[in-house]
Structure 1
């Protein structure tokens, strides 16, 4: 086993961040290659003479940025390719099947690239390079560029009713990275975290890996069960009311009010406003944060409407946690480049963002309709898609005696790649197997051909 050494006395940054930087540099410089495994949490802690929690934090940050993947029963595998952005890496287990011919890849996270205004985006970037040359010579603020936070505060108020000042906003690369940052502001002994079950595994696993007591809260037809939440003992709840990640439901107004009332007598509500931009049929309801701003941590992301490699997320902290941020993590390194932040701020202030978002909404609504038509044509009564009026992907529950793995394997034999969903459950749930299909990057004919091939493979 290779040896790793690091002198922690040369930096004032937190131990976990020094470990993260050490491994990231090793990966980017080729000392650790794609397919290599990092030592286990226990082995790394022993080797470096640090706590297991510090190693966990470092590994989780590397995972959130696409450098690592935690493969069950194997360990932490490097997935970064030197000539690829971390977010372009598809994962070690996918590489094992890459030799097969795949004609349709329903990969979640892929989006339409043909309509992105690359020329205009680059023009704005170049203008900003000339305008702010002196600014790039000094470090920016750890919360993110003020111009961007100002525009985000305005955007969130106008579109979501979020009540915030620029000073309350923290910019980050990915939601999971912001969740890990947030966990440093919470108290592992005091705070008990409720999570949707099924739900976003990135947040759930981050809290679990950092030692928090996590309570799985089942879902009803209108969202998280308030009865189960109240009886769980959780005093912090992570929820995605605009578009529940697994069941694709939108929480109605009365349930949002009930959840806001719950939060008023507890610690915090963490509102992940997942894909609110891509709601097609019903009206977009205001964020819960607008009802209880002093009790809500609001998290959002931008990449789905721009480019996957443009990792920009943001978090609005209530005043109580903002003071914790300044006192507990003053060494937080801003992971998003200043130029990317300023470019997007200009896109917001000049109105380009709204124009592009409207175009993408129309495009993805068409793709969603093509997908629904293909299901009705090739799988009538045999499969049920969750989230018929929202998002860039679907969770397809298949009425079959086969397992999730068997469905995935049968699809591959027909040249179609779909993805499993078992990881989104903290405890077993669905009677029938469910697979994840993303269609954001596919055309009408590709969607139809892929669904037809799945029907032939499964029925």
Structure 2
């Protein structure tokens, strides 16, 4: 008997579901070479589907060489169709898929997600229609790898005005999100055995991107004022230093001017670059947004920004502001990556910024997030009192909650999940383990106020037992 899970609620045709499932069983070795498959009639009867569906799936598998038919004997798994690493790949894919699915009834304190329900759809839709109708014919063709000039010009003005970034349009490369920006940096600067000085803790994804080249990470601890620049060693000779100076991720500290100057002086002496990730600093609640590090030395700092936090991750739009020496090489690498970021989206974003809609949206969302932050703070104080401590909440879409006597193990995280609340341990983002076991990241950007309160009540039910 060959049991295949059939889901009629999916948009995937039934024959494709049958084909995909048998294909995976063959590739990962669960169906072995020479093993006989059930007859199409028997298989259709067991699954409660049409025999023609099974026949079409088998025909596709036959055409691609996964199975062979023997006259009068039946259908068998072909030789040489087992791919050993598929088991690990399949597990990873399933884990990623589960991470991205929002479970119904689970209150997810995931950080970095803006309020998806307050995306400015009306303005965006109006401009999308205008751009599509008004765009010249050549805009529908291939474009320059560095991005549309009108967007780069408007973006350079916006960054100078709002973030103190010292740049002109030619220094900007538009990317398909910040992830591609970091990938381009690794290809620009890193080779096997190179060193990168990096904050500890820092987002796991960044660590993975940088080490994918074979580079070695040199972790520098973070305190309430950001990276401990007094611990930088002249003997390391790194290719670059990675920092989140305006809102350290995940701990939320802000790098003061004294440490910024130390960092730049270190980079100058060691002839390396500084990579500044400015991912959510527009949303500062205790004063004006912190000025960029790049504004202190535009030839030593590579500035990375994104529209995933202030607008939507679905846009897949980010950018690099580069020192002069790296511009041409980065443009070439961008061309090899994906030719260029979608032109119509760039034209639309340029109009959105030019008409003042981005800054208007940020002002609106700052008020929304400030209220959600206060609801979260009040809920934590109400439920945990002095046993909980809050930090890193002056900027951005998350804060850090620290609980005395609690260690957020995998078992505890699972128990919380079973009680309909999902939180994210700081320890998952550390390089040196054991320093932040009692801290969790609580993102509030994409949670309504009642969800925040319910989530903290659920957290208290589990941690209080």
1:318 CA drift (Å) = 0.4
TM-score by length of 2: 0.76
Match of 2:124 in 1: 121
Match of 1:391 in 2: 396
Q: What are the within-5 Å matches in structure 2 for residues 49-448 of structure 1?
A: 74-75=88-89, 79=93, 91-94=96-99, 98=103, 102-188=105-191, 191-231=194-234, 233-235=236-238, 236-265=240-269, 266-326=271-331, 330-334=335-339, 336-430=341-435, 432-448=437-453
Sort the Cα spacing of 1:234 and 1:280 in 2 relative to 1 into closer, same or farther, 3 A. farther
Do 1:379 and 1:455's aligned partners in 2 also have CA atoms closer than 8 Å?
A: yes
Do 1:404 and 1:433's aligned partners in 2 also have CA atoms closer than 8 Å?
A: no
Instruction: Measure the CA separation in 2 of the matches of 1:143 and 1:97.
Output: 35
Instruction: Measure the CA separation in 2 of the matches of 1:328 and 1:94.
Output: 30
Match of 1:3 in 2: none
1:118 CA drift (Å) = 0.8
Sort the Cα spacing of 1:403 and 1:303 in 2 relative to 1 into closer, same or farther, 3 A. closer
Do 2:144 and 2:340's aligned partners in 1 also have CA atoms closer than 8 Å?
A: no
Sort the Cα spacing of 1:269 and 1:36 in 2 relative to 1 into closer, same or farther, 3 A. farther
Q: Structure 2: give runs of 5+ residues left out of the alignment.
A: 1-15, 29-86
Do 1:36 and 1:78's aligned partners in 2 also have CA atoms closer than 8 Å?
A: no
Task: Compute the RMSD of aligned alpha carbons.
Answer: 2.9
1:431 CA drift (Å) = 5.0
Instruction: Measure the CA separation in 2 of the matches of 1:308 and 1:317.
Output: 23
Sort the Cα spacing of 1:77 and 1:377 in 2 relative to 1 into closer, same or farther, 3 A. same
Q: Structure 1: give runs of 5+ residues left out of the alignment.
A: 1-28, 41-72, 81-89
Secondary structure at the residue paired with 1:298? Answer: strand
Instruction: Measure the CA separation in 2 of the matches of 1:234 and 1:161.
Output: 29
The number of equivalent residue pairs is: 386
Larger Rg belongs to: 2
Instruction: Measure the CA separation in 2 of the matches of 1:32 and 1:237.
Output: 44
